[in-house]
């Protein structure tokens, strides 16, 4: 059940802008920034749980990618590359901070939290389910939450998610199936599909 949700037009446009950026076209890179920033910021916010830190992390990523674009070279999958690089950057920062301040060896992975604002409700009949589906999503194990967020909210396919999270493709499928089974058992699976569509429309309209 591999949903190929990534818009091919956006994918092709990003690839085109990236090739122009490799040639030093700052305007093309700015267009990439505009296209990718919102999704990267929301993902960063999920991982860091702080708006200022999230924004700084994404801006730092764009600066680093622009500076090192020559060594990065051509990219087949621009959006997954940025999400992968952002996740690695944030995990490294979290690791360094904890090692320096707390002197601990085990670094837990990021723990995504869903908020009621993301579970966009337009129909009154679903309003009573907003809290229920938010709570159920937040009760999922960390990696299940991250897979659900990246696939249904950011429209990344399972191959891309495996690359971003640094796990096997089959692991992504297993995590997704386990999460969906819990939603299905609570009669909320169909609602999730409807709400993530509303969420993406909500973001594309510039509401933040």
pLDDT class for 58, splitting at 50, 70, 90? very high
Q: Which of 31, 29, 36 is nearest to 58 (CA)?
A: 36
pLDDT above 80 for 116: no
Instruction: Give yes or no for residue 19 having a pLDDT over 70.
Output: yes
Rounded Cα gap, residues 73 and 56, in angstroms: 24
Which of 10-14, 112-116, 131-135, 154-158 has the lowest average pLDDT?
Answer: 112-116
For residues 4 and 118, give the distance between their C-alpha atoms in angstroms, rounded to a whole number. Answer: 22
Residue with tokens 């301040």: 101
The most distant pair of C-alpha atoms in the chain lies apart, rounded to whole Å, by 53
**Can you give the pLDDT at residue 10?**
75
Closest by CA position to 44, among listed 21, 60, 32? 60
Least confident of 75-79, 95-99, 127-131: 95-99
Give the span between the Cα atoms of 60 and 53, in whole angstroms: 10
Check pLDDT > 80 for residue 110.
no
pLDDT (0 to 100) of residue 203: 53
Of 15-24, 31-40, 178-187, which gets the smallest average pLDDT? 178-187
The confidence band for 7, taking pLDDT boundaries of 50, 70 and 90, is low
DSSP 154: S
pLDDT at 5 over 50: no
Cα–Cα dist 82/90, whole Å: 12
Q: Distance between CA 162 and CA 144 in Å, rounded?
A: 12
Rounded to a whole number, what is the distance in angstroms from the first to the last CA of the chain? 30
Q: What does the pLDDT look like over 89-102, one tens digit per residue?
A: 998 887 776 555 55
């Amino acid at each position: 059940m591999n949903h190929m949700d990534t818009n091919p037009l956006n994918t092709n446009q990003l690839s085109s802008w990236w090739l122009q950026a490799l040639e030093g076209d700052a305007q093309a890179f700015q267009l990439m920034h505009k296209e990718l920033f919102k999704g990267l910021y929301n993902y960063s916010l999920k991982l860091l749980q702080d708006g200022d830190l999230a924004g700084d992390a994404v801006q730092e990523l764009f600066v680093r990618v622009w500076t090192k674009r020559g060594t990065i070279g051509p990219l087949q999958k621009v959006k997954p590359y940025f999400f992968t690089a952002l996740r690695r950057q944030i995990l490294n920062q979290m690791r360094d901070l904890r090692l320096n301040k707390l002197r601990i060896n085990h670094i837990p992975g990021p723990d995504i939290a869903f908020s009621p604002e993301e579970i966009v409700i337009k129909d009154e009949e679903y309003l009573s389910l907003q809290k229920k589906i938010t709570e159920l999503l937040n009760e999922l194990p960390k990696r299940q939450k991250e897979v659900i967020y990246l696939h249904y909210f950011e429209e990344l396919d399972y191959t891309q998610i495996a690359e971003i999270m640094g796990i096997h493709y089959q692991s992504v499928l297993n995590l997704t199936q386990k999460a969906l089974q819990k939603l299905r058992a609570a009669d909320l699976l169909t609602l999730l599909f409807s709400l993530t569509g509303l969420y993406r429309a909500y973001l594309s309209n510039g509401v933040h």
